[in-house]
Amino acid sequence: MPVRFLRGKKEIPYEEKIFVNQVQWKTRIPGQKGGFFLDVRNLRSFILEKSELARDRDCLHLFSHTGLTSVCLEEAGANSVFSADGAKEALEEFSSRLLPEEEVLNFEKKNTIFTKGKHHMVRADLFQDWGFLEDKKFSLIVLDPPNLTPNQASVPAGKKAYRSLIAKALFHLEPGGDLILLSCSGRILESEFEKIGRETLAIKGWKYKDLYKLRPEPDHPTRKEFPEGKYFKVHIYKKCEPLDQ
Ligand SMILES: C[S@@+](CC[C@H](N)C(=O)[O-])C[C@H]1O[C@@H](n2cnc3c(N)ncnc32)[C@H](O)[C@@H]1O
């Protein structure tokens, strides 16, 4: 499908400077969801405003795309941020934000970890292989897979995939850590997503102190007459502990 622009005369692709609170970010337009997944803005602002969530913590960002949320974690004072995504181009764009212009990282090879300052980056198929994480533990985990329910027939498999991803993430969570689950799968209702999260924690032997649900930003309206607008969920499970502790 040809790329269409409704306004503006700039040659594409082009770079646009954006701000998330105090974080400045150059994004390439056009790109998926505006090049930086605009819907995640509520979580990014939350991370920056409640900086105690990430401060001095080792953070894991699964399905990290071009890393804007990872950079927000760093800005909030994270000790380290480990970002994993399957898309070579997204990781290349992320690393180009961290490195001088002449330095380029090659994400051709899967499961190779690159480190730059506080950031670790890896290209991996997160529906297949989490072996690159070995038995590393993190005190904050952000899990943000792509849409897992592209059609009605895919809903049962999508729900199963969420349960499996959450269970794997729990293996890498430090006792007392926080788990942030995102879902852009519109065919899974918020209440169903909450059930998946709560049940998976319980089945895997974890309890949590609080659950916060972030509201979508005003430019992602959730009106009654527009139920499709309710596709995006951000659930924050605070102070997760194994049941036997
Ligand atoms: C919803 S976006 C993530 C947005 C990101 N968390 C952020 O804060 O900007 C989903 C991401 O999943 C990645 N992805 C899709 N399939 C994948 C796979 N099999 N393994 C790893 N990443 C995958 C895409 O490249 C995309 O970056």
User: What percentage of residues in the chain have a pLDDT greater than 70?
Assistant: 91
* pLDDT top residue among 1 and 128: 128
Provide the domain count of the chain. Answer: 1
Angle at 62 between CA 44 and CA 41, to 5 degrees: 15
- CATH value at residue 208: 3.40.50.150
Amino acid in the structure at residue 152: Q
Q: Is 4 part of any domain?
A: no
Query: Nearest residue CA, atom 17 of ligand 1?
Result: 86
Atom of ligand 1 nearest to the CA of 128: 19
Q: Is 6 part of any domain?
A: no
Query: Nearest residue CA, atom 19 of ligand 1?
Result: 125
Token pair recorded at residue 92? 């290349």
Contact 94 CB / ligand 1 (< 6 Å): no
Q: Is 236 part of any domain?
A: yes
Q: Is 24 part of any domain?
A: no
* Angle, helix 190-203 to helix 155-171, in steps of 10 degrees: 40
Contacts of 23 (CB under 8 A, 6+ apart): 44, 48, 68, 71, 72, 75
pLDDT for residue 7: 56
pLDDT for residue 244: 79
Q: Is 16 part of any domain?
A: no
Domain that holds residue 116: 38-242
Residue 2's pLDDT band, with cuts at 50, 70 and 90, is very low
| Mean pLDDT across the chain | 90
Beta strands at 119-123 and 113-116: parallel, antiparallel or unpaired: antiparallel
CA of 191 to the centre of ligand 1 (A): 23
Query: Nearest residue CA, atom 26 of ligand 1?
Result: 65
The residue among 159, 169, 231 whose CA lies nearest residue 196 is: 159
Beta strands at 233-242 and 206-207: parallel, antiparallel or unpaired: antiparallel
d(CA 95, CA 221): 33
Q: Is 27 part of any domain?
A: no
Contact 204 CB / ligand 1 (< 6 Å): no
Cis peptide before 156 (omega within 30 of 0): no
d(CA 84, CA 63): 6
pLDDT in tens, 22-46: 998 888 777 655 567 888 999 999 9
* pLDDT top residue among 216 and 140: 140
Q: Is 157 exposed, middle or buried (0-12, 13-18, 19+ CB in 10 A)?
A: exposed
Q: Is 18 part of any domain?
A: no
* pLDDT top residue among 55 and 20: 55
Q: Is 28 part of any domain?
A: no
